[in-house]
Structure 1
């Protein structure tokens, strides 16, 4: 299945439906079933200990899967997370953006399953790994 939305369309849609967080993210790479999404780390994403907070990393993983699902199926604001498991493996650098490399493992009629590795920009080892399932609303 070819992409139904391109990077600029995805970012515009995110701005439309989630304007409160849309400016936090940038798309570094988009292809069939894969996306690399960047969290532009700012002071609001940090926690004590000079590291990126867990909720910020969750938001990055969740948004990455949401955006690749939409890229594949088109504008569906009501696609929702039904499950998430995240492992925080090491402390991310507070002064670097985070990059989520996401791939869809399954894209069905009603469910999509994605796998996400999060790294600090420039680092080879992941700081977190997540698996998410999304529910896709029925087509009208």
Structure 2
């Protein structure tokens, strides 16, 4: 099985370098072959009426989580981009940090396909599931 190229620290550092606007919002906590665990740091700005985490926050976590696992596997590729995403919201998340378990199901030369399960911190019941496809830029 393919092994990750980047460590947790390298992924987090690269995200801070190329996307300084999200610094501290999404943190990679664990990397394994084709898998990563990513945290969304949730604050009042991420909540919607009713005291639940907003859909855009969960979408951001799915997108960033999959991007992080992809970077771990292919290296520093700032121009890898989302080409398709679909999200199912399954239950109301708690107003706390969210955890994403992102995995790559197929890693090809030009496309990566996978999914992301998202949980409220401390819960084992997923609140959302996303299906993700990313385009990988050609090697130069």
Per the shorter chain, which TM-score range?
over 0.9
Between the aligned partners of 1:54 and 1:112, the Cα distance in structure 2 is: 23
TM-score by length of 1: 0.97
Task: Work out the CA distance in 1 between the residues paired with 2:29 and 2:72.
Answer: 14
Q: Distance in 1 between matches of 2:83 and 2:139?
A: 18
Flag structure 2 segments of 5+ consecutive residues without an equivalent.
none
Size of the alignment, in residue pairs? 139
Matches within 5 A, 1:65-84: 65-84=66-85
Unmatched segments (≥5 aa) in structure 1: none
Structure 1: how far apart are the matches of 2:30 and 2:6?
A: 13
SS of alignment partner, residue 3 of structure 2 = coil
Q: How does 1:48-63 map to 2 (within 5 A)?
A: 48-63=49-64
Distance in 2 (alpha carbons) for counterparts of 1:114 and 1:60: 14
Cα distance, 1:73 vs. partner? 0.5
Q: Is the 8 A contact 2:28 2:68 kept in 1?
A: no
d(CA) in 1 for partners of 2:28, 2:139: 26
Match of 2:91 in 1: 90
Give the match for residue 125 of structure 1: 125
- Is 1:28 equivalent to 2:25 in the alignment? no
- Normalised by the length of structure 2, the TM-score is 0.97
Q: Which residue of 1 aligns with 2:139?
A: 139
Runs of 4+ in 1 over 2 A off after TM superposition: none
